[in-house]
Amino acid sequence: MFDTLSPLLAEALSARGYDAPTPVQAAVLEADANRDLIVSAQTGSGKTVAFGLAMAPQLLEENGSMPFIREPLALVIAPTRELALQVSRELIWLYGKAGARIATCVGGMDASKERRNLRDGAHIVVGTPGRLRDHLERGALDLSALRVAVLDEADEMLDMGFREDLEEILDATPDGRRTLLFSATMPKPIVALAKRYQKDAERISTIGEDRGHGDIAYQAVVLAPSDIEQAVVNLLRFHEAESAMLFCATRESVRRLHASLVERGFAAVALSGEHSQNERNQAMQALRDRRARVCVATDVAARGIDLPTLSLVIHVELPRDAETLQHRSGRTGRAGKKGIAALLVPYQRKKRVESMLRGAKINAEWIKPPSSDDVRKQDRQRLLANLLEPVEADDEDRALAKQLMEQRSAEDIAAALVQAHRARMPAPEDLLDEGPAPRDQGPRAGFEDTIWFRMDIGRRHNADPRWILPLLCRRGHITKSEIGAIRIAANETMFEIPRAAASRFMAAVKRTAQAGAEGEDGITIEAVDGKPREMARQNRRAGPPPVRHKARPAHHHKGLKRPR
Are 127 and 224 members of one domain?
no
User: Are 289 and 223 spatial neighbours (Cβ–Cβ below 8 Å)?
Assistant: no
The upper half-sphere exposure of residue 258, i.e. CA atoms within 13 Å in the direction of its Cβ, equals 22
Helices (H) and strands (E) in the chain, counts: 21, 18
In a domain, 531, yes or no: yes
The upper half-sphere exposure of residue 272, i.e. CA atoms within 13 Å in the direction of its Cβ, equals 19
Q: Which domain holds residue 189?
A: 2-205
User: Are 212 and 326 spatial neighbours (Cβ–Cβ below 8 Å)?
Assistant: yes
Q: What local confidence, expressed as pLDDT, does residue 207 receive?
A: 64
In a domain, 137, yes or no: yes
Q: What is the CATH number of the domain that holds 481?
A: 3.30.70.330
In a domain, 410, yes or no: no
Element (H, E) at 419: helix 410-423
Are 193 and 230 members of one domain?
no
Are 165 and 238 members of one domain?
no
Q: What local confidence, expressed as pLDDT, does residue 534 receive?
A: 57
Mind spelling out the 3-state secondary structure of 379-406?
A: HHHHHHHHHCCCCCCCHHHHHHHHHHHH
Are 14 and 151 members of one domain?
yes
Which residues on adjacent β-strands are paired with residue 41? none
Element (H, E) at 163: helix 163-171
The set of residues, in sequence order, having a beta carbon less than 8 Å from that of 101 and lying 6+ positions away, is 66, 120, 121, 122, 123, 124
Q: What is the CATH number of the domain that holds 268?
A: 3.40.50.300
Q: Going residue by residue through the chain (564 aa), what tens digit of pLDDT does each one get?
A: 566 788 889 888 888 888 788 888 888 888 988 999 999 876 667 888 999 999 999 999 888 888 888 899 999 999 888 788 889 999 999 999 899 999 999 987 889 999 999 999 999 999 999 999 999 999 999 999 999 999 998 887 887 788 899 999 999 999 999 999 988 777 788 888 999 999 989 998 876 544 444 578 999 999 888 789 999 999 999 999 889 999 998 889 999 999 999 988 899 999 887 888 788 888 888 888 889 999 999 887 676 676 778 889 999 999 888 878 887 887 787 655 788 999 999 887 888 899 989 888 889 999 999 998 999 898 888 888 877 777 777 888 888 888 888 888 888 888 887 787 777 778 888 876 554 444 444 455 667 788 999 998 888 887 877 778 888 888 888 888 888 888 888 889 999 999 988 999 999 888 888 755 555 667 889 998 877 665 555 555 555 544 444 433 333 333 333 333
* CB-CB neighbours of 389 under 10 Å: 7
271 backbone dihedrals φ, ψ, rounded to 5°: -135, 115
In a domain, 264, yes or no: yes
CA atoms of 115 and 169, how far apart (whole Å): 16
CA atoms of 133 and 196, how far apart (whole Å): 19
User: Are 298 and 248 spatial neighbours (Cβ–Cβ below 8 Å)?
Assistant: yes
Are 240 and 141 members of one domain?
no
In a domain, 360, yes or no: yes
CA atoms of 7 and 13, how far apart (whole Å): 10
pTM: 0.56
Spatial CA neighbour of 173 closest among 197, 140, 139? 197
Beta strands of 402-538 (E only): which ranges? 450-455, 486-488, 493-498, 525-527
User: Are 363 and 214 spatial neighbours (Cβ–Cβ below 8 Å)?
Assistant: no
Last residue of a domain, one of 321, 341, 373: 373
Spatial CA neighbour of 28 closest among 61, 52, 9, 3? 52
Three-class SS state of 561: coil
Spatial CA neighbour of 527 closest among 512, 553, 507? 507
CA atoms of 539 and 34, how far apart (whole Å): 82
CA atoms of 293 and 287, how far apart (whole Å): 6
Q: What local confidence, expressed as pLDDT, does residue 255 receive?
A: 92
The set of residues, in sequence order, having a beta carbon less than 8 Å from that of 401 and lying 6+ positions away, is 393
* 233-245 exposure pattern, b = at least 16 Cβ within 10 A, e = fewer: bbbbbbbebebbb
Q: Which amino acid is at 465?
A: P
Three-class SS state of 178: strand
Are 24 and 98 members of one domain?
yes
The order of strands in the sheet holding 365-367 is: 268-271, 294-297, 243-247, 310-315, 339-346, 216-223, 365-367
Last residue of a domain, one of 373, 395, 424: 373
In a domain, 326, yes or no: yes
Three-class SS state of 221: strand
What is the count of structural domains for the chain? 3
Element (H, E) at 9: helix 7-15
Are 228 and 152 members of one domain?
no
CA atoms of 230 and 525, how far apart (whole Å): 25
Are 175 and 284 members of one domain?
no
In a domain, 101, yes or no: yes
Spatial CA neighbour of 59 closest among 36, 83, 75? 75
User: Are 184 and 42 spatial neighbours (Cβ–Cβ below 8 Å)?
Assistant: yes
Are 225 and 194 members of one domain?
no
Last residue of a domain, one of 186, 205, 224: 205
| Torsion on CA atoms 213, 31, 128, 16, rounded to nearest 10 | 60
CA atoms of 210 and 43, how far apart (whole Å): 9
CA atoms of 462 and 348, how far apart (whole Å): 7
Are 104 and 231 members of one domain?
no
CA atoms of 506 and 496, how far apart (whole Å): 12
Are 94 and 220 members of one domain?
no
In a domain, 560, yes or no: no
Spatial CA neighbour of 92 closest among 62, 131, 122, 57? 122
Are 167 and 265 members of one domain?
no
